[in-house]
């Protein structure tokens, strides 16, 4: 495979990393991935990643939650076992709607939040019992790792990364099964 | 960075004031054309001819209201006011109420901005100092707006505050009302105006000193942050004072128009409305000044943050509005629920229309992150939010003063123009007094470089 050989450049500061990302990209190298111990503000824009569509899914999940709440409460409180709510025995969903608003709100939030997190995990290829892809455990502590594909240009790339302030540069053969 | 109110804007504001004054005056004159109960009888008779549907409607409402009043408040004294006399009172109340609603609305914008501004200082916010001069300009309306509001309240007297009617607290009097009499220790004219004066004095003192220190900080040495620290301290103290006085103000100035009814979260509810209107106005004026090539440090991220606050406070307002509504609706206790019964029966369109304008509209329009950065989008959403909150105040005052005889006509629009013009004149004149950048603020660099 083409990307089987990659360079791992390790940084110790997020500001240095940010300017390195900009330099590397201006030199037309493709950054495969960056591993950071914490979310770095603006990194996605600097890397040129497409904006996330997670917000759209959150809105859709919220709509699903709202619908579930309405259908559920209509079935439970109006159809299956009609209830006299607050001394107003109208047995109509719309007339009793204010008392269902807290449930509608909660389920909207519940669905949006949980399904969004699950979507995020799946989209990030994380699921239970998955082996960690993280190439270097130090990126969970205080190091930042930039992964760049190599196409017979190890020397120039190494020199460039050195210049951007990388503290460590390793060329590794990637295990192809990992992806 | 200097700004001077342009002649065009000043003339525009003055024209608004004049047009508004004409509208308000004509409202007063036309209300005086109904002098006696006989005039009202004629009016009601002519209204009855207009159409069957309307007739049935009006009669139903009138009956409901008369019954409510009878049962609820005056049962023990055998209250004798006829429907026609009641309508006469409502006709006479309308121009006062229209004036009061608009005056309060513009005053509340300035007060909301004052609270928001104090929060910025107390939390040492880094994003907002480039907007401080805009906020200081808007808050300069607190004192004139508040004084005018109190004068209107003083002149309107029992036209607005039914608890000021003669004899309400005198046992055996025709107008005696046991509930109002029980509250007269708090609800009396002297107390009302003493409290009002104390509130206004406190708020405008903070407004005066915070602006003074803010300007002094500009001229101070770069390492001298004493004025900023003073501002931090008085802002924290002001917020404590404000949260008590704002609550009490909401009972006095708004809630007491329905003296039998009370809601324990009313102060919060009004505060939420104030903050939405305040933040919206900050955003609108900032965008206006930017369009004039001023405020070069205010970027889309600042507007984005303001729009986030507009969105957030709109949802907060809805939360409080609904909390107030739902508990009263659910428990269905007669003396509480009349408040919403009159609003749903007689004010159906403004009551639910306001929820659409203040909640559904900003929710859907401002949810998308990118839209919050589009300036004309923020302005458009802001106009709807401001209109919605005007209707909100309208719904608070009108049912108690004019009942089902409400309309947004010449007196109401005149009052909006009058106070809108005055607000513009005061705010933009104040904006021109000092440079538009609070350059001495220690957070100004962070604010200039703020980006999201």
Structural domain includes residue A18: yes
Percentage with pLDDT > 90 across chain A: 46
Other beta carbons within 10 angstroms of residue B449's beta carbon come to 12
| Residues B323-345, mean pLDDT to the nearest whole number | 92
Q: What is the pLDDT of residue A131?
A: 86
| Residues B226-231, mean pLDDT to the nearest whole number | 93
Residue B168 scores a pLDDT above 70: yes
Spatial distance between the Cα atoms of B178 and B173, rounded to a whole number of angstroms: 11
Nearest CA-CA distance, residue A84 and chain B, Å: 11
Q: What is the pLDDT of residue B414?
A: 95
Q: In whole numbers, what is the pLDDT of chain B averaged over residues?
A: 89
Picking from A135, A119, A112, the residue whose alpha carbon sits closest to that of residue A35 is A135
Q: What is the pLDDT of residue B59?
A: 44
Spatial distance between the Cα atoms of B126 and A63, rounded to a whole number of angstroms: 36
Structural domain includes residue A129: no
Q: What is the pLDDT of residue B58?
A: 44
Q: Which positions ≥6 away from B266 have C-beta within 8 Å?
A: B247, B250, B251, B254, B255, B324
A119 and A58 within one domain: yes
Contact B367 A59 (CB under 8 A): yes
Q: Which of A55, A59, A86 has its CB closest to that of B330?
A: A86
Torsion of CA B214, B220, B223, B229, to 10 degrees: -30
Q: What is the pLDDT of residue B278?
A: 97
The answer to whether residues B414 and B19 touch, using CB atoms and an 8 Å cutoff, is: yes
Tell which wins on pLDDT, A132 or B283. B283
Sort out which chain A residues have CB atoms less than 8 A from B326's CB and list them. Answer: 98-99, 101
Tally of domains within chain A: 2
Longest dimension (CA), chain B: 77
Q: What is the pLDDT of residue B60?
A: 42
Picking from A149, A169, A157, A140, the residue whose alpha carbon sits closest to that of residue A27 is A157
Half-sphere exposure of B48 (CA within 13 A, CB side): 9
| C-alpha distance from residue B158 to each of A149, B67, B74, B253, B320 (Å) | 81, 22, 17, 13, 29
| Residues B259-263, mean pLDDT to the nearest whole number | 91
A86 and A38 within one domain: no
A117 and A73 within one domain: yes
| Residues B92-116, mean pLDDT to the nearest whole number | 95
Q: Which positions ≥6 away from B22 have C-beta within 8 Å?
A: B414
Nearest CA-CA distance, residue A98 and chain B, Å: 6
Q: Which of A112-121, B64-73, B118-127, B442-451 has the lowest mean pLDDT?
A: B64-73
Q: What is the pLDDT of residue A175?
A: 62
Spatial distance between the Cα atoms of A35 and A146, rounded to a whole number of angstroms: 7
The DSSP call for residue B432 is: T
SS3 A168: strand
Q: Which of A39-48, B51-60, B189-198 has the lowest mean pLDDT?
A: B51-60
Structure tokens at B184: 């007269």
Structural domain includes residue A128: no
| Residues A161-172, mean pLDDT to the nearest whole number | 88
Question: Residue B266's pLDDT band (boundaries 50, 70, 90)?
Answer: very high
Question: Residue B382's pLDDT band (boundaries 50, 70, 90)?
Answer: very high
Contact A86 B331 (CB under 8 A): yes
Residue B161 scores a pLDDT above 90: yes
A109 and A59 within one domain: yes
Spatial distance between the Cα atoms of B280 and B269, rounded to a whole number of angstroms: 17
| Residues B46-61, mean pLDDT to the nearest whole number | 55
A110 and A92 within one domain: yes
Structure tokens at B127: 């994003």
Spatial distance between the Cα atoms of B404 and B59, rounded to a whole number of angstroms: 11
A15 and A30 within one domain: yes
Q: Which positions ≥6 away from A95 have C-beta within 8 Å?
A: A88
| Residues B411-419, mean pLDDT to the nearest whole number | 95
Pairing of strands A31-35, A168-173: unpaired
Sort out which chain A residues have CB atoms less than 8 A from B331's CB and list them. Answer: 86
Chain A positions with Cβ closer than 8 Å to B = 55, 59, 85-88, 98-99, 101
Structural domain includes residue A96: yes
| Residues B124-137, mean pLDDT to the nearest whole number | 94
Nearest CA-CA distance, residue B45 and chain A, Å: 35
Contact A87 B367 (CB under 8 A): no
Question: Residue B241's pLDDT band (boundaries 50, 70, 90)?
Answer: very high
User: Model ipTM?
Assistant: 0.79
A149 and A119 within one domain: no
A58 and A33 within one domain: no
Q: In whole numbers, what is the pLDDT of chain A averaged over residues?
A: 89
Q: Which of A55, A86, A98 has its CB closest to that of B369?
A: A55
Q: What is the pLDDT of residue A27?
A: 86
Q: Between B348-355 and B334-346, two packed helices, what is the crossing angle to 10 degrees?
A: 90
Q: Which of A146-155, B133-142, B250-259, B286-295 has the lowest mean pLDDT?
A: A146-155
Question: Residue B369's pLDDT band (boundaries 50, 70, 90)?
Answer: confident
Spatial distance between the Cα atoms of B163 and B183, rounded to a whole number of angstroms: 9
A12 and A62 within one domain: no
Spatial distance between the Cα atoms of B138 and B127, rounded to a whole number of angstroms: 19
Spatial distance between the Cα atoms of A47 and A51, rounded to a whole number of angstroms: 11
Spatial distance between the Cα atoms of A34 and A146, rounded to a whole number of angstroms: 4
Count of CB pairs separated by less than 8 Å, A with B: 18
Residue B75 scores a pLDDT above 70: no
* Domain that residue A83 falls in: 54-123
| Residues A10-25, mean pLDDT to the nearest whole number | 91
| Residues B83-100, mean pLDDT to the nearest whole number | 90
> Is the CA virtual torsion B377, B378, B383, B389 positive or negative?
positive
Structural domain includes residue A130: no
DSSP string, A78-134: IIIS---BTTB----TTTTHHHHHHHHHHHHHHHHHHHHHHHHHHHTT--TTPPP--
A108 and A85 within one domain: yes
Q: What is the CATH number of the domain that holds A20?
A: 3.30.70.260
Structure tokens at B440: 């001495």
Question: Residue A5's pLDDT band (boundaries 50, 70, 90)?
Answer: confident
A172 and A153 within one domain: yes
Q: Which of A59, A88, A101 has its CB closest to that of B326?
A: A101
Structural domain includes residue A156: yes
Q: What is the pLDDT of residue A124?
A: 86
| Residues B405-431, mean pLDDT to the nearest whole number | 94
Residue B20 scores a pLDDT above 90: yes
Question: Residue B134's pLDDT band (boundaries 50, 70, 90)?
Answer: very high
A149 and A115 within one domain: no
Q: Which of A118-132, B74-88, B314-328, B386-400 has the lowest mean pLDDT?
A: B74-88
Distance in Å from the first CA to the final CA of chain B: 24
Sort out which chain B residues have CB atoms less than 8 A from A57's CB and list them. Answer: none
* Helix runs in B332-409, H state only: 334-346, 348-355, 361-365, 375-401
Q: What is the pLDDT of residue A176?
A: 56
Tens digits of per-residue pLDDT, A59-83? 999 999 999 999 999 999 999 999 9
Contact A99 B326 (CB under 8 A): yes
Spatial distance between the Cα atoms of B157 and B164, rounded to a whole number of angstroms: 6
pTM of the model: 0.87
Q: Which of A150-164, B47-61, B90-104, B334-348 has the lowest mean pLDDT?
A: B47-61
């Amino acid at each position: 495979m083409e990307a089987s050989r990659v360079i791992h450049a390790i940084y110790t500061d997020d500001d240095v990393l940010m300017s390195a990302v900009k330099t590397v990209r201006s030199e037309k190298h493709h950054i495969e991935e960056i591993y950071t111990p914490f979310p770095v503000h603006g990194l996605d824009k600097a890397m040129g990643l497409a904006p996330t569509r997670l917000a759209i899914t959150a809105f859709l999940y919220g709509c699903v939650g709202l619908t579930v709440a309405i259908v559920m409460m209509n079935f439970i409180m109006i159809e299956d076992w009609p209830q006299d709510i607050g001394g107003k025995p109208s047995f109509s969903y719309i007339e009793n709607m204010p008392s269902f608003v807290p449930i509608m709100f909660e389920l909207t939030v519940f669905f949006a939040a949980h399904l969004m997190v699950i979507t995020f995990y799946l989209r990030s290829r994380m699921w239970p019992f998955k082996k960690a892809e993280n190439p270097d455990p130090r990126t969970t502590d205080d190091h930042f790792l930039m992964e760049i594909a190599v196409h017979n240009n190890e020397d120039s790339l190494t020199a460039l990364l050195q210049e951007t302030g990388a503290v460590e540069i390793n060329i590794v053969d990637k295990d192809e099964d990992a992806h | 960075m200097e700004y001077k109110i342009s002649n065009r804007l000043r003339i525009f504001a003055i024209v608004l004031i004049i047009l508004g004054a004409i509208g308000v005056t004509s409202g007063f004159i036309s209300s005086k054309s109904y002098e006696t109960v006989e005039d009202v009888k004629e009016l009601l008779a002519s209204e009855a001819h207009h159409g069957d549907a309307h007739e049935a409607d009006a009669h139903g409402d009138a009956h409901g209201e008369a019954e409510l009043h009878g049962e609820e408040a005056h049962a023990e004294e055998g209250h004798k006011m006829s429907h026609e006399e009641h309508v006469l009172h409502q006709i006479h109340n309308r121009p006062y109420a229209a004036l009061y609603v608009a005056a309060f609305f513009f005053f509340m914008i300035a007060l909301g901005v004052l609270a928001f501004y104090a929060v910025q200082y107390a939390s040492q916010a880094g994003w907002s100092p480039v907007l401080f001069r805009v906020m200081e300009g808007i808050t300069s309306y607190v004192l004139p707006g508040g004084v005018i509001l109190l004068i209107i309240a003083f002149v309107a007297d029992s036209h607005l505050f039914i608890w000021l009617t003669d004899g309400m607290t005198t046992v055996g009097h025709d107008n005696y009302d046991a509930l109002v009499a029980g509250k007269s220790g708090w609800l009396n004219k002297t107390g009302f105006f003493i409290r009002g004066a104390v509130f206004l004095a406190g708020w405008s003192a903070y407004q005066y000193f915070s602006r003074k220190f803010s300007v002094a900080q500009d001229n101070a040495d770069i390492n001298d942050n004493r004025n900023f620290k003073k501002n931090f301290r008085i802002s924290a103290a002001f917020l404590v004072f404000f949260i008590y006085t704002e609550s009490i103000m909401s009972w006095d100035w708004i809630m007491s128009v329905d003296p039998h009814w009370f809601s324990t979260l009313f102060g919060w509810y009004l505060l939420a409305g104030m903050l939405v209107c305040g933040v919206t106005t900050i955003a609108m004026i900032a965008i206006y000044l930017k369009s004039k090539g001023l405020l070069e440090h205010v970027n889309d991220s600042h507007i984005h943050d303001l729009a986030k606050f507009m969105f957030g406070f709109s949802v907060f307002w809805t939360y409080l509005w609904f909390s107030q509504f739902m508990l009263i609706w659910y428990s269905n206790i007669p003396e509480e629920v009349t408040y919403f019964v009159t609003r749903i029966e007689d004010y159906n369109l403004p009551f639910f229309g306001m929820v659409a304008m203040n909640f559904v509209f900003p929710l859907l329009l401002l949810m998308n992150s990118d839209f919050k950065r589009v300036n004309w989008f923020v302005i458009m959403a802001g106009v709807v939010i401001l209109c919605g909150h005007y209707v909100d105040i309208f719904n608070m005052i009108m049912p108690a003063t004019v009942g089902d005889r409400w309309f947004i006509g010449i007196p109401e629009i005149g009052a909006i123009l009058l106070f809108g013009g005055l607000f513009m004149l005061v705010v933009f004149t104040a904006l021109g007094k000092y440079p538009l950048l609070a350059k001495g603020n220690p957070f100004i660099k962070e604010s200039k470089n703020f980006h999201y």
